[in-house]
């Protein structure tokens, strides 16, 4: 069952959501001025998709990590999140995660445990570094890091053998790991509006393989 409550000015999650807990597979709560997500969210164990984007959430309950049926999408963009509960490491079947437009300064380790992720969006945060454990995301095809505070990437970025797109626009990069050359399927590397980087010569090797490098 799908329930779409997009832009209803709710301010809180209505009782009907919890009454349908054993039926809901898709739940859209985007753009409702939500400042709190109650722990009862952990009862929505059949959810495959959850949209909490465009709200005012500054924290998430640990019970969110109980939603192990989440496989399709988890939208958390445009909130005020500075961290995530470690329990979210249990979302190992999730394929799409959007955390853009939040207040993250460090990528939570819980995200790097979501080993089924195909697309990860982290644009418009305050990320100063990416942990080496990003290399665990062996299925990742798209990594969006636009407009953060990254000066470099970990060498383990070269372990993302399925990666097709890497967006690094508007970061103060000073160094680019040559492990990017180890990405056999990379199709697009976006370095536009990166004014602090001396482009490494090996970018030409990527281009000769057919990778589009925007700079």
State residue 5's pLDDT score. Answer: 97
Q: What is the CATH number of the domain that holds 210?
A: 3.80.10.10
Q: Provide the residue range defining the domain that includes 162.
A: 2-214
Query: Is the sign of the CA dihedral 65, 127, 53, 58 positive or negative?
Result: positive
Low-confidence ranges of the chain (pLDDT < 50): none
- In angstroms, the CA 148 to CA 195 distance is 13
State residue 158's pLDDT score. Answer: 97
**186-196 residue pLDDT tens:** 999 999 999 99
State residue 59's pLDDT score. Answer: 98
Query: Is the sign of the CA dihedral 190, 51, 58, 33 positive or negative?
Result: positive
Sheet with 119-121, strands from edge to edge, namely 2-4, 26-28, 49-51, 73-75, 96-98, 119-121, 142-144, 165-167, 188-190, 212-214
Q: How many independent structural domains does the chain possess?
A: 1
pTM of the model: 0.97
* Closest of 61, 30, 59, 57 to residue 44, by C-alpha: 61
**127-160 residue pLDDT tens:** 999 999 999 999 999 999 999 999 999 999 999 9
State residue 6's pLDDT score. Answer: 97
Place of tokens 């990017």: 180
How would you classify residue 7: left for phi > 0, otherwise alpha for psi between -120 and 50, otherwise beta?
left
State residue 21's pLDDT score. Answer: 94
- In angstroms, the CA 213 to CA 192 distance is 9
State residue 135's pLDDT score. Answer: 98
- In angstroms, the CA 212 to CA 214 distance is 6
């Amino acid at each position: 069952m799908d329930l779409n409550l997009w832009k209803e000015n709710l301010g809180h999650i209505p009782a009907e959501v919890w009454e349908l807990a054993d039926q809901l597979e898709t739940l859209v709560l985007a753009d409702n001025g939500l400042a709190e997500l109650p722990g009862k969210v952990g009862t929505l164990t059949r959810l495959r998709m959850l949209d909490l984007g465009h709200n005012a959430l500054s924290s998430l309950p640990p019970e969110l990590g109980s939603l192990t049926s989440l496989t399709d999408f988890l939208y958390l963009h445009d909130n005020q999140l500075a961290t995530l509960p470690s329990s979210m490491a249990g979302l190992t079947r999730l394929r799409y995660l959007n955390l853009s437009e939040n207040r993250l300064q460090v990528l939570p380790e819980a995200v790097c445990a979501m080993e089924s992720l195909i697309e990860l969006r982290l644009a418009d945060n305050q990320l100063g570094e990416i942990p080496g454990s990003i290399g665990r995301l062996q299925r990742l095809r798209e990594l969006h890091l636009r407009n953060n505070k990254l000066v470099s990437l970990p060498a383990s970025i070269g372990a993302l053998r399925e990666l097709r797109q890497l967006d690094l626009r508007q970061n103060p990069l000073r160094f680019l790991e040559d492990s990017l050359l180890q990405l056999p399927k990379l199709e697009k590397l976006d370095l536009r509006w990166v004014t602090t980087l001396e482009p490494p010569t090996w970018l030409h090797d990527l281009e000769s393989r057919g990778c589009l490098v925007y700079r």
